[in-house]
Structure 1
Amino acid sequence: MKLLTLELENWSLHEHLRISLANGLQIEGRNGTGKSSILEAIRFIFAKDSRRYKRRIRHGTRGSTVRLWFIKDNNEYMVEKRIFLNRKSTARILMNSKLIADGPSSVYNYLRGILPEDIIDRLVYVPQGELVEFIDELALKGGRQKLDSLLGLDKFENVDKGIKEEISELKGKLEILEKEIMKYPEDAEEKFREMIREMEVEIGKMKSEMARRKQKVKRLEVRRDDLLKKMNEFEKLEKLMNELNNKLNSINLEIVKNETTLRSLNEKLDTIDKKVREMEELKTRERELRNYPRMREFLLELEMNDKRLKELGDIEEEKTSIERMKERVKEIEPLKERKDELERRINELEKRIAVNRDRVMELERYMKNLLELSDKAKCPRCGQRLTREHIERERNSAKNKAELINLEIVKDTEEMERLKRGLEKISREIEEMERLSIKIGDMETKLEEKIEERKNLETKIDEIKNTLREIGYRGEDLEVIDSAINELNFIRSRIRIFDEEIGKRDIYLRNVEEINKILNSMKREKRNIIKKLDEIKEEYDANLLYALRVEYENLQKSIYETRNEMNEYRLRIEMGENRIRETKEKLKEFIEISDEIKKARREMGLLLEARNLFPEIVKYLREKFISQLSSQLTYYFRRINQNPKYREISFDKEYRIMISSTEGEFYIDQLSGGEKVQLAIAFRIALLRLLSPIKLLILDEPFGSLDREHREILGDALNKMAKSGQLILVTHIPVDSLNLPERLDLGGY
């Protein structure tokens, strides 16, 4: 597996950043430029919980995106994870541009099969200051546990602990089972089987008795069925007799009912004949009165038209009033001529006043100019030099002229105001004349309408009077007419009622005919039923039927008693079978407990054997892993250090690192600071070779706690490590010896 490219959007301080990781990467820059956040982006890709990375969302944005490209088994993968402030994160994986996982959980589970998160956090990623700390802690309990955990040996310890718990549970289970089996006698299995055999013999006897009673019931049922067949024949005759008697009674009732209905219908027909004669008299009277409603309508209309004729009033008087108003309207033309004359005179006065005001303004400007003249000014007419007296005379002359003109303006203004008042009065009179003219037009229109309406009313009145004479009106008043109308309405309602009742006459006649047919049919049926009853009585014997019923009841009683005996045997058989089942259950339970005890004892033996062997297995695996780790560590340390005096690196029982040299063996605390840093790098590489699916090391500020000499030594060691794997590191300290193929400078980013 190899990382190729990392792309960030709105991540920490980076709005958009795309980085190549294929040849390793050296990230440099001042503190606070977002160096470590790039390493956290790689960890974020493989992390299960995205929420703790929300602090990395760039300020002022609502979400961040991280994409990582890597290659594994000749397939190219692209992992994209998005994290948001106010909604759920998203994730997806593409393999060779095809979607293979979608959703945070699916992506995490897929990546865990490629590079687990704990390998990233515990082995690949080295936080600031922890590079050398791991090998220093190996001699301590926490360091040993950390290495065992990386090697997977802690899982074996958990298995050993589980075996102990399983042995403890089996001991408890054996104690319970042994207590349970103590409830049973020593030869419980043989006794249970003997009890089952005895009960099965007893049940066999009861089943034989039950079979004999079953045969007896069959014989009794055959005899009972024969009796039942004979009884059914007599009961059918009895039933038929009862049905015929019931039918005969029903027919008698129907005959009485129909005869009663027939009498009622004949009475109704007689009543209808009487009403036919009465209705002829009513129709004659109705013809005499049928014009009175029309008379009443015409009289009311005549009264209404007379009333309207009176409301129209005296038309001649209205004509005279209109003529008087027309005479007054004729005066409008002299008024209009007078109005035009006043408007002309007002216009002349306005023009004269405007001219005089201009003259006054010109004289005022002249007087102002006289005051502004200098002593050397000359008269424009005579050419002599103007004196102060001459200027004063000119000024007084101009002032007098202006006063005279102003007096003329005041006089003209007063005259104009007087003329305007006269004009306003004449205008009001003209407006009043025009309104009067409009009113005359409306009055003439209404008068014409009234004349037309009066003419129509008089014509209508004559038509109504003629119609009244034609329909027989003889001068009756409304009270007499209303009385006649009331009588007419009463007669018509009676005629309608009689029409409805007389209309039923045909129905009554048809009903009488139908009832007579029904009565004849019923009487014939009655004679037939009486004949059938006489025939049945010759075959039916009531005493014989009674004897058959008594014998039938006795047989039923015998069958019932025998069946009760069978039920008692059946119940006893069921009880016996239940006891057999219970005994078999106890036998089964006893056998199961015995088998479980045997199984538990066998499992206990196997677990005890496994527990005795387990320390040897753990010891073997630990020695195997430590041997491989020592071999890898020796190889990489000698490759990085290149000092020929160092031969081999190994571990003692406490995991303390031993170094074998030409001068003897010693622990790492005798190494120089630079050599210890080289050993820490070699240790990390060896662990990666043994445990990680990727040759990748991520270092966060590895030079922070080192002096210049040790930084240069570490830089040289990292150069060598980068040649055989991927190295990504962050530093804010320049190191001359460090020279990775790819470099990202965030100093001015």
Structure 2
Amino acid sequence: MRIEKVKLINFKSHEKGEFEFTDGINLIIGENGSGKTSIIQALKLAFFGKSQNERLRLRDFIRRNESKAHIEITFTAMDGLRYRLSKEIKEGRGRTVLECLNTGERKVVGVHEISTKLMDLLGIRGSGGRIVYDKVINIYQNQIIDIFSKDQTGNFERIFGIDTYRELEEVIREVLKRYRIRREGLEERMGLLEREIEEMGDVEERLRESIHKKMMMEKLRDEKNEIKEKISRRIEDVESRIRIFERVDEMEKKMKIVEEEMENLCDEIEKMERDMEWMKKNEDKYSRYSILKKMVEMDKRRYEDLERTWKRKLKLKDEFTEKMKELDGLRKDRKYLSDERERLNDEMERMNDEIEKLDEELKNMKERLDRIASEEKEVMAELEKLEKVKEKRDRLKYGIENLENNMRKLKMKVEKEDELKREFDLLSDDLKKIEDEIDRLKRLEIERIELEQSKKLLEEQSHSLFEEGICPILREECVNIKNRKNPRNHLERLLHDYAERMKDMDEELKKMYELEKRRDKLIRERMRINHMLDEISDLKKELKDVVKESKNKENELRKMEKILEENDFEGLKRRKDELSGIMREMEGRMKILFDNLKKMIEERKKMEKEADKINREIEKLNDSIENLTVELRNLEKETEDLEEVSKELEKLRVDLQKKESEMGELEDVYRKYVGILEKIKDGYPMKKRRYGELKKRYEKMKKELEYERSKLKGLTKAQLEEMLGKLKTEKDNLEKEMEGILGELGKMEQMMENLKDQVERKRKRMNEKKEVEGMMKKIEIKMKMMKELGEGVKKLINHVGREITLKLSKMATKIHSEITGKNEEIQWRSNENYRVYLVSADKGEREFNMLSGGEQVSVALSLRLAMAEFLTENRLLILDEPTINLDKERKEMLAQVIGEIGKRMDQVILVTHDDIFESIASKRIEVGV
């Protein structure tokens, strides 16, 4: 893989920067605070995004007073194709686009997706892409040897992918812990089950004994039940015989009641037979009364009908008289309406003549008005043309006045041009001075941060400096401390100098805010003046156009004045006003005539309606008169036989009186006959049947009584009652014995239920004990398997770590030999928390911390190169300020080593502010120039 170009816009201190890289060693040179490290940070941010552990926010990567930043990286990937990676940074969100320049494929992707894709393009193996980049490819300030000088087991295991096995080992330990807790719970449950089973004892034997006792008691209960049933049957037999005495008494009472009812029926039948003899004697009188009754009823109905007919005819005669009067009135009304209709017809003929005269006058006036309107239209058309000319003339006058005013204003503005130019130049000079001062203060701010970090590092590492005399940066004996009598005073003076310098810097930096405010104000003022100068330039052009336009409009104005003068504009206006007055006068006269005509037409319509109404009224009267005449003829016919109806009505009344007198003589016989008939009609046959039924019933009851008496067999009721008492006493005693037996059986059944529950509970506990034993065996097997798996994973971790470090040791030894030319062996031991040793024939085995600063650098770089070759396919190395806190001799040695490394790598990017590496560089990239 090879980085070709990095383009930054508003990224940290870079407003707009573009940096091109080549094969070999690329030096990024610049002063402190110039933004060298920002280029390296942009590479990491574009490739991997912001880590969750980073303190910096996305906002911290965006240049001050800007809303977004942009990174664009062009590189050749491991697949041989060229790509462009573009990342837009906004606070809270970003946008990443990966484009293949060979195929043109372009895709907007998220951070996770772009990182996964870039692992393949960068040639980084495994899942730990970011940590491989951080710890192997990219070497930050002071971190060349730090990764090997202290315990970094966790980092190395993540780099080599062993952390997955560690996680598996932790999972196995957690599973084993859960199994142990489960086994302890099962052991506790097993103890409880065993104690409970022991407490139950021989519950099955006790249950068998209880079952035998119960069977004996049930046998005794059954024997007593048989005896009880025999006694009960005997009691029922005696009680049935006693009930016979009761039934005999009851039957005798019923027979007596039947005898009495038969005697009463016999008397009633005899009385009815005597009444029937009387009816035979008076049957003719009853028949005569019935006939007279029907005849009277018929005559009464006939009389009522004739009476209604007589009354109706009498009423019709009165109605005839009234209708005759009404007919005379209608004939008078018809005569009045006919006269009124004649009067209206004469009035309408007169109005028709007047309407025709008005209509003719209106027609003549309309023709004259049309002629005048035509003439007015012609005058109006001519005037309209001249009005447009006049309006155009007035607009030209107004436009010329405005142009003259604008010309005066434009001339005044143009005169200010030289003054504004002088003011613009002065503002530009002031702004340049302020921006130079702000840039100086920004560099001072970065220098102050670096000074504060150096002071903090010196304070943190002061213990090792004073106690051991070891430099915390170089990891070797410090000459400055060794050659001084009182090194602590030297360090305190050094820290004091740092504090004083930082205090002076803070005083200087306080000016930055005021300078930035002043700069922004000057920028806005300069923009305003620049805008005004642009406006003046435009106004000059506009002034020329205005002068030319003014002359054109004056020429056009003179033409308009000539047209108005030639066409007598004022004379036409007077003629138009005169015609308008005539038309208004004629229209007023026509309106009066039209209103009169309209009123007359409306009046005529009212008369026509009135005449129509009178005609309809006359027609209605004619219809009414005709109808009344027909009704009168009908009424006259209806009342012709009124005298005959009166005579017939009187005759019928006399006949009715005779028949009602005869019915009065026969009424008593009729009423008695009807009363007897009602009684015997249904009563006599029923009573005869009832008497026969009672006689048969009496005979049957007599036979049943004799049969019941035969069942007693000579025993008296007292003897039977005595026998019944003895049997009941014997039964009561037997029931008391039965109650005792049943009580004992109930207790035994309850005891047996308890014993059965205990047997069932014991069986369940025994089954549960077997299940627990089985579960404990399974857990033991699983725990054994998990322990074996844990031991296997542990051995695998040690084996993988050992094999990887052994492989890397061999690769690093070869690289170290090529770089230094020494025959020394690097040993990296994973079983000793990844400690590094350098073994040589003359000095023996030395741990990394005991090596000199130069040896540590060469060993650390050899191991990093070995890891880069082992973990990645690319040949890229990035170093950020590797010479910080190194003396001249060690810087030269580091430059020599990096020169050798450059021969092995495709591309090395080296960030530094020293010029010691220039002799080995393929390209020099200056930042901040």
TM-score (norm 2): 0.37
Which structure is higher in RCO with an 8 Å CA cutoff and minimum separation 6? 2
Higher helix share: 2
